[in-house]
Chains A and B, each alone.
Chain A
């Protein structure tokens, strides 16, 4: 896959289709690739890397890249293409400034899961014939990709690219029975007090680093209200737990109907807070109240929370209030 991607990058840079390439560059270890922009074939040759640990969704970088002028090639996994479309729908990126190469995805690996298996002192990871060989200072270990697959990939909603100029690999299908709402259903079945306890337990670990917000392709406000010193709510750290909750609740509301469920927020959280559950609750509710809707699927679709119809559900009608 990496070689095919590099070859397309060379060719498209060479024939002038694009001026830059957005991909990943080599890390210090086998699993810590950094998103990077490559400006010529030499840079691609020396630095470009792609493997199962290149997990970042590159769509959001395009907001910045579109302001830099020229045309940029971006490699997108199926889930990333939903974010791309959503950014298009919100006029945050310009379609004609971007050349999208869709890449077939078999699920990403999560190095945390490898470490959780008790594998320590990792010096290298190679993939061959559907097996990862993890070299460590204590010897080699063979592991199955399925055992260390990223959480979000275990509930992948679509292997289909909703937008691309060309594809590398095969096109997949939307995954109908992806079970992504299972945990949401469990939370819904709890009493309000139990649910409150669940979320307090999770959110109390938050260090307000803002990684979830800053990585989120739906969070592209020029200045977030939480960064605006004149907003009155811009506290960098929570004075109390109420504020901590508010940051997450406000953010979840703000991305409701626009969150594509890309899973980046949960992936980057240094405290392993399952933020995707908040968003999936909104997605599930939108589906229930307004009919099935997948943000990013169709950039021309009218967003359910951005239009009004006479028979729209009324506040309180769905229940859920504490008795």
Chain B
């Protein structure tokens, strides 16, 4: 366990940023936190979490896959991939850190997504335990401990500074590179911070929420439930829930006509959209009920079916806070699972 005193926080950031890009949550002009590149004078946000999730670092909203250049009758295919530079993301919360494992299970299995892998390999994730979880948080439902997040390095905020623990080789390397700013830390301070977080967590309205009524093997039982109709009735099909979600992983590949060639890019897609998985014969899910059901069945049944019961949700609460009509995975799981 290492300790960084409050007075040395900026030096610590500067030391990291001298060698690689450093991103951390910073308040934007409307007072909401965004991951932003650190430069001298940047102040870390005190917000519990960012509006957009940390998945952007590994699975960006849009990225170029390849280019085609046309000249006369020749088409040149250009590999536009660039080796990613090393970077550090500081202040990732336990929920988002857990979402990386879910994205890995999709992008790092055969056939490996080289674009994603490249960024994963070059990124060091520094997580920060939550001091004050919100009423929308339910990471505990999935066995995620807000007081003990995963990541290459875990950081706890204590009265006079920060406690840091390296969890991986990358983490060790980061702490070694900043060793002259760190001192030996005391486990006790971390335990006290953890106890406080867990005490708050236990008092929140979603404490003790379980998803037992949904999950592995429930496709037949849940697929034709009449409640889908009422649950999805006022859904706008907007995709806000998908785009703020750290575990939503679907993308579309599109061609952008540049005039003398094509930029082939991929971008986030949403199963809530009418042209999702559009095929030559048309759309496989013609109504919003079907599209809505897909989003929740994927997270609550199909994904767990294929991943030893792990749900495709980490309880970050973003969809609870952001859906324009306040429909969300907790309401769906409770209605279908019949608990509380």
Contact = CB atoms under 8 A, between A and B. Distances in A.
Contacts of A137: 135, 200, 203-204
Contacts, number: 122
A237 B205 contact: no
Given A123-B135, A270-B244, A211 B267 contact: no
B320 interface: yes
24 contacts: A29-B136, A56-B325, A116-B31, A121-B135, A121-B200, A137-B204, A210-B238, A210-B239, A210-B273, A211-B238, A211-B324, A214-B238, A215-B238, A215-B324, A229-B275, A236-B254, A236-B267, A236-B273, A237-B61, A239-B256, A268-B324, A270-B244, A270-B322, A272-B30
B236 interface: yes
Contacts of A239: 62, 256, 263, 265
B230 A211 contact: no
Contacts of A36: 230, 233-234
Interface in B153-190: none
Nearest to A210: B238
Contacts of A166: none
Interface of B: 28-32, 34, 51-52, 61-62, 132, 134-136, 200, 203-206, 230, 233-234, 236-240, 242-244, 252, 254, 256-257, 263, 265, 267-270, 273-275, 278, 320, 322, 324-328, 330-331, 334
Contacts of A210: 238-239, 273
A34 B234 contact: yes
A227 B275 CA distance: 7
Given A210-B239, A232-B257, A32 B326 contact: yes
A98 interface: no
A88 interface: no
A56 B326 CA distance: 10
A235 B254 CA distance: 7
Contacts of B328: 28
B272 to A, nearest CB: 9
Nearest to B252: A236
Contact of A211 (B61, B240, B274): B240
Contact of A33 (B28, B134, B326): B326
Contacts of B134: 120-121
